[in-house]
């Protein structure tokens, strides 16, 4: 198999290094990742400036490039640029420093990179770990589950023809894995207002996660309960329920 | 009504200036827009740096700020920061320089700003014009349709409790408006490879729109046919069809 690996924490993040090493034992690995931290960039792509590329040494058997773009750019540059002569079988994005659950996915560079793989007709999986700034060994252990998933799904990649998988690995003793739905996440007091040394007002987005009731089959409940969450998601965003109700809305 | 207006082309773009002027005749207008061009930034938010704010004069009766952040940041800063004491009734994002149809919406800063309004529990509408770099008068004319829409929907804002509206206005004689689904858009030869004056390789995302077959009730077919397209969209991205088929996929 030829597997393209990317992330949003940047090419020097422990999560992508351990994932690439583990996956390189079962597949040819091609890495294209942002040259620096690009989390929360959503599905941004770079169209108003060039995207620079730099070859990086990530060890034997791993072809690796850092680029000046976003996570979604990495997948575009990998599939349509740097590795356009390779038949990429699967795109992996991660392992992310922190979970991407529920409403988070809309902001997540990790998930957006996998969705870009999907848009380019490649089976794609996003992987996140439900704790931030953990030791490198943790990602090594977590990568074993990703290897299991790849081995398990490699002969059934058609399952990913109308969705990606969004995987979140809990930071506890793991009981198993479950197929889940996106839950609801909201942040309280998200906007912090301050004054800089020059007397100018600025804002910094922060905020504390609110405890909301979750459906039992949601990704959030699943991870909390000690199971790896696997959520099939896609970009069919039309709300069909509203068609009939909206029919009297006119603009002319 | 109190209406927050934003965009992704930046605060000096003709589309937002004409929209703000037209809407200020029927509502109190609050503008928060990026200080420069931020298109194709998707749902990126700024969490690794502060967001600076600058007061801008957009004329009488319009309270207006430019910020150093993304379109989604603008809505967060507007609702949770600068205008947190105002009860914002509606968020408008646009009028965008160019259409946001089908698959485009996942990359669109214009649409993401409206989706951020939705996440913050505000009725929200994204508006795009299906031609780039048109004369300012065109946006003035297009704004009349948006005024019609606001007048038409203002007593039925509950319709927007589980979706936003993504509006695209065609660049032809307009026959009417229709409720539509997202169509399919793909770009051919999207990745241009070049060498810079220092001998370094870079990529630039470009590409030509491919002509794909579209459903009759898609946004793309609608605009092509001379109707204003109104698509209800949201962020319920879970693919429920795949639940049963995926149940044998295990990671442990």
pLDDT in tens, B125-143: 999 999 999 999 999 999 9
Binning pLDDT at 50, 70 and 90, where does residue A119 land?
very high
Query: What's the pLDDT score for residue A232?
Result: 98
Query: What's the pLDDT score for residue A111?
Result: 98
Q: Which domain holds residue A39?
A: 2-183+214-242
Dihedral in degrees, nearest 10, Cα atoms A26, A27, A28, A33: -100
Reading the block at residue B171, the tokens are: 């660049």
In a domain, B12, yes or no: yes
Spatial separation of the C-alpha atoms in residues B89 and B81, rounded to whole Å: 16
pLDDT at A189 over 80: no
Asked if the bond preceding A15 is cis, omega within 30° of 0, the reply is no
In a domain, A18, yes or no: yes
Q: Mutation test of the interface with chain B: which of A237, A245, A250, choosing the one with the most B Cβ atoms within 10 A?
A: A237
Q: How far is A52 from chain B (nearest CA, A)?
A: 5
A–B: how many Cβ contacts below 8 A?
Answer: 258
Q: Do A182 and B249 touch (CB under 8 A)?
A: no
Instruction: Quick: pLDDT tens for B5-35.
Output: 999 999 999 999 999 999 999 999 999 999 9
Spatial separation of the C-alpha atoms in residues A243 and A245, rounded to whole Å: 6
Q: Do B233 and A239 touch (CB under 8 A)?
A: yes
Q: What pairing do the DSSP bridges indicate for beta strands A2-6 and B124-129?
A: unpaired
Instruction: Quick: pLDDT tens for A122-149.
Output: 999 999 999 999 999 999 999 999 999 9
In a domain, A232, yes or no: yes
Spatial separation of the C-alpha atoms in residues B240 and B230, rounded to whole Å: 25
Across B36-44, average pLDDT: 90
Spatial separation of the C-alpha atoms in residues A186 and A192, rounded to whole Å: 16
Q: For residue A143, give the chain B residue with the closest CA.
A: B251
B209–chain A Cβ distance below 8 A for any pair? no
Q: Do A243 and B107 touch (CB under 8 A)?
A: no
In a domain, B139, yes or no: yes
Query: What's the pLDDT score for residue A40?
Result: 85
Reading the block at residue B160, the tokens are: 């927007």
In a domain, A199, yes or no: no
In a domain, A192, yes or no: no
| Structural domains counted in chain A | 1
Query: What's the pLDDT score for residue B206?
Result: 87
Kindly state the percentage of chain B with pLDDT values over 90: 88
In a domain, A188, yes or no: no
CATH number at residue B230: 3.40.1210.10
Q: Which residue has the tokens 């038409």?
A: B152
Binning pLDDT at 50, 70 and 90, where does residue B209 land?
confident
Judged on CB neighbours under 10 Å (0-12, 13-18, 19+), B195 is exposed
B161–chain A Cβ distance below 8 A for any pair? no
Spatial separation of the C-alpha atoms in residues B219 and A161, rounded to whole Å: 23
Give the distance from CA A29 to its chain's centroid.
17
Instruction: Quick: pLDDT tens for B149-165.
Output: 999 999 999 999 999 99
Query: What's the pLDDT score for residue B40?
Result: 85
Least CB–CB distance from A177: residue in B40, B46, B251: B251
Q: Taking CB atoms and an 8 Å cutoff, what residues of chain A touch B252? A: 145, 148, 174, 176-177, 228
Spatial separation of the C-alpha atoms in residues A233 and B236, rounded to whole Å: 9
Category of B219 on φ-ψ map: left (φ > 0), alpha (ψ -120 to 50) or beta: alpha
Distances (CA, A) of A103 to A36, A38, B173, B178: 24, 18, 39, 29
């Amino acid at each position: 198999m030829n597997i393209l690996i990317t992330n949003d924490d940047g090419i020097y993040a422990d999560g992508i290094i351990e994932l690439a090493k583990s996956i390189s034992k079962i597949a040819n690995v091609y890495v294209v990742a942002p040259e620096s931290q690009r989390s929360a960039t959503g599905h941004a792509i770079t169209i108003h400036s060039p995207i620079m590329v730099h070859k990086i040494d990530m060890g034997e058997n791993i072809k690796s490039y850092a680029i000046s773009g976003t996570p979604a750019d990495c997948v575009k540059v990998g599939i349509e640029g740097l590795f356009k002569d390779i038949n990429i079988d699967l795109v992996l994005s991660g392992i992310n420093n922190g979970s991407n659950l529920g409403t988070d996915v809309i902001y997540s560079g990790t998930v957006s990179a996998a969705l870009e793989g999907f848009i380019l007709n490649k089976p794609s999986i996003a992987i996140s770990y439900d704790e931030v700034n953990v030791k490198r060994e943790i990602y090594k252990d977590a990568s074993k589950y990703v290897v299991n998933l790849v081995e398990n799904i490699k002969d059934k990649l058609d399952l990913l023809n109308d969705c990606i998988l969004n995987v979140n690995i809990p930071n506890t003793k793991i009981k198993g894995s479950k197929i889940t739905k996106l839950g609801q996440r909201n942040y309280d007091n998200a906007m912090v207002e301050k004054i800089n040394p020059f007397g100018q007002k600025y804002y910094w987005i922060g905020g504390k996660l609110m405890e909301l009731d979750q459906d039992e089959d949601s990704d959030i409940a699943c991870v909390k309960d000690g199971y790896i969450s696997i959520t099939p998601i896609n970009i069919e965003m039309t709300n069909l329920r509203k068609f009939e109700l909206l029919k009297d809305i006119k603009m002319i």
